[in-house]
Amino acid sequence: MFKALLGDIRSTLDSIEPLIKETAEDDKELDFPEDELQNFGVQMEEGIELIRKCSKVGPLSTYKKYKYTNKLGELGKSLQRLLDILKVHSIRDVKKTLVTIKNIETKVQQIDVNIGIQNNSSESIEGSCAIPEPPPLVVGLDGPLKELKMKLFSDEISMLVLTAPGGCGKTTLATKFCQDGDVRDKFKNNIFFVTVSKKPNLNLIVEELYQRKGSQVPDFQHEVIALNWLYEFLNQMGQDPLLLVLDDVWSESEFLLEKFDEWRMSNCKILVTSRFAFPRFGSPYNLKSLSDEDAFALFNHSAYLGDVRSHVPEDLARQVIKHCKGFPLAITVVGRSLCGQPIEIWQKRLIEWTKGSSILDSDHDLLVCLQSSLDALEKQSITIKECFLDLGSFPEDQRIPATTLIDIWAESYKIDEDWLCIANLCELTNRNLATLIITRKDPREVDGYYSEHFVTLHDIIRELAIYQSSVESIEQRKRLIIDMSGDNFPEWWTEQKCQPINAHLLSISTDGDFSSKWLNMQLPQAEVLILNFQSKKYALPEFVEKMDKLKVLIVTKYGLLPAELDNFPLLGSLSNLKRIRLERIAIPSMSKTPVQLKSLEKISLFMCKVGQAFDNCSIELFNLLPNVVEMNIDYCNDLVKLPAMLCDLICLKKLSITNSHKLSVLPEEIGKLVNLKVLRLRSCTELSELPDSIRNLKLLNFLDISDCFSMKELPEHIGEMCCLETLNMRQCSRLQELPASVLDLEQLKDVICDEETEILWNPFLPILHNLHIRVVKEDINLNWLHTFPS
């Protein structure tokens, strides 16, 4: 112990000696009291003397070692106490120094503020001076400006999100709002315009607010402290109305909106401009595209068409403007790029666009603006980005059925749940990369069926999706999108020398002048085929027969009347085909064109003509479609009686027949569908009853007969459906009573009904303890009028 303690004390004294000397010199220079270090000096001298004595102790002097060991221990404790005191003194001295520096900074800032006020005597240094200048010409914003004032002047709204894709004029509208006379009268000088940007620095934002107010800039090193100071800043405004514009807010800054939503100060209004809708903070205000006349006015200004030296005909200018799709940024950059150019350049640009070239090819600024939204999407999820790019596979100005996208994404990205696909569409909608439209009478109703969900794209956003899908060479593209006029095949197609194309998705759109005479193409990797056409008669391409990996086939006829589809037997050779969706197709008689589709799992028929498909058919349907587990029949108005042969598809688990208003009879054979779990008969308004054999559907857990206005009674033995959990029977107004067997529906948990049918259940509620009756009031709207996409 003696030897170890002696070494420790000697090492401690060697370390302390220079520290004491340096501290003494600093105290003398800073005019600190000299007596604070006297005790340190005394202890140092005593320690050095003790070390000197211990060094003379011989190796055999046991008693002296014992005596000096105790003294060394006491000296060590004393030195440790002095070191602790020295640390406290050091911390105190640092704080004193910081306080002095802080006082100096405050005085300098006050001097700067006073100088700023003197130099800006004609204009207040407060927040309103920070509003950016609007563009030289602002068009099409008078209506939106009026609506913004109505919303933000309302007591019910404290925060409003102004949303649109990049380049639509959100910042311009926010600037115009801040400079409006009514807004200035309401908020006086308490208007602050802060650009948040993609990578926000909250510390700088708060510092900027304090500086613009002419207040002392707080000192903080962390965002949490900055948030506290931001809250304090808003509180300092007192009862005076305050307007805070947060411009260009990205999803990374959602935490900031959360804080404002928590604080909710009655005197504070917040206008947020963003490409993201942020629906959790209330209904956003969506800024629309410019009208044709407003677009022409903006283009005229950008391209200086008013110049007397310009010889560009107005009709040529309007054709160019048409390709800008009412997008302010596109109109501006295209106008500037054509400004002063000879008319031949205008004509060349227009021809290039007409032939399929993208407006994004010639306007880099527009591409960069839109690309940033896509880059942010990619950071969140590669899959959602791929889903967005798939949206470019459908014709311009057409609604895209959500069920079509569900089929594509289920096979392409292994998204097994339909609601996950809808969640992706909601993500794209929140980012203004798509718009999800729900056309059912009650859009709040959620039952896992999405035949009345549609997606629309702004034309410029569609061009972005197509542009991104066209970066690689034709042979290497993941998506090959072909838009044909008449029989004018793309040059690369006519010149192709049997070179295989590796696209996993092929989309071909043709107009009414196409003759259905296809050229050959090799697509060994294609899993999705989308065919869009307008002609009355259409034939599947012969090369489909060799698309061995094809999993999804989508065939859509645009127009009012169904069209005939030829070459259907080609599908018989496709061993991997799992999903088929046909829209406005006249299904031919299966006895004339029998096709065996052993791998097919899902069939969807939308607005198809199906009446003749099963007439005089002696073929056993199960042999043709042995593995079909889901069948959807929507808006097929020539379906009067469900063919009994459909009940041979004993593997069926989901059968949905909706909005087929002439359907009046279900076959007694429906009881053969023993594996059925979901049966939807929604809006089959002529259907008056369910066959008694429905009692055999022992696995059925979901039954939807909503809007079956003619339904008079439920089957007497409905109670034998022992797995039934959910029954939707709203708007079944002709039902007078329920059969007593409903008491046997022990698994029934949820009944959706209206106020009239709720009364029918009241006598059974004391026994059905686990039953929840959900009354849905009729929501009167006209969204359903737009169910039929053009």
Question: Which of the pair, 514 or 379, is modelled with greater confidence?
Answer: 514
What is the rounded CA–CA span in Å between residue 438 and residue 443?
6
- What residues form DSSP beta bridges with 163? 274, 286
Residue 530 φ then ψ, to 5°: -120, 120
What would the pLDDT profile of 710-740 be if each residue is shown by its tens digit?
998 999 999 999 999 999 999 888 888 899 9
**How high does pLDDT run on average in the chain?**
81
Residue 77 φ then ψ, to 5°: -65, -40
- Which token pair is 323? 């390709």
- Which token pair is 293? 């006349």
Confidence of residue 508 (pLDDT cuts 50, 70, 90): very high
Q: Please, are residues 649 and 642 in contact by the beta-carbon 8 Å criterion?
A: no
Query: End-to-end CA distance of the chain, in Å?
Result: 96
pLDDT at 784: 42
pLDDT at 112: 44
Q: Which domains does the chain have, with CATH numbers?
A: 2-105 (no CATH), 127-286 (3.40.50.300), 292-364 (1.10.8.430), 381-461 (1.10.10), 491-586 (no CATH), 700-790 (3.80.10.10)
What are the angstrom distances between the C-alpha of 467 and each of 327, 355, 452, 630? 17, 14, 29, 35
Give the pLDDT mean for 294-299: 88
- Of 269-278, 306-315, 460-469, 657-666, least confident by mean pLDDT is 306-315
How far is Cα of residue 424 from the mean position of the Cα atoms in its chain? Answer: 7
Question: Which of the pair, 508 or 196, is modelled with greater confidence?
Answer: 508
What is the rounded CA–CA span in Å between residue 320 and residue 315?
9
pLDDT at 672: 94
Question: Beta strands of 613-653 (E only): which ranges?
Answer: 630-634
Helix (H) or strand (E) holding 606: strand 602-606
Q: Exposed, middle or buried: residue 221 (CB in 10 Å: 0-12, 13-18, 19+)? A: exposed
Confidence of residue 403 (pLDDT cuts 50, 70, 90): very high
Residue type (1 letter), 559: G
Query: Nearest-5° angle of CA 150, CA 151, CA 152?
Result: 100
- Which token pair is 266? 């009655």
pLDDT at 778: 65
pLDDT of 103 above 60: no
- What residues form DSSP beta bridges with 191? 243
Residue 355 CB neighbour total at 10 angstroms? 11
If you average pLDDT over each of 165-179, 588-602, 654-668, which comes out highest? 654-668
What is the rounded CA–CA span in Å between residue 736 and residue 706?
15
Q: Please, are residues 406 and 228 in contact by the beta-carbon 8 Å criterion?
A: no
Q: Please, are residues 563 and 557 in contact by the beta-carbon 8 Å criterion?
A: yes
8-state DSSP, 249: E
Question: Beta strands of 410-541 (E only): which ranges?
Answer: 435-438, 453-456, 479-483, 505-509, 528-533, 537-539
pLDDT at 547: 94
- Which token pair is 126? 């407060």
What are the angstrom distances between the C-alpha of 526 and each of 551, 701, 709? 8, 37, 45
Query: Nearest-5° angle of CA 727, CA 728, CA 733?
Result: 120
Strand order in the sheet with 537-539: 537-539, 563-566, 585-586
pLDDT at 782: 47
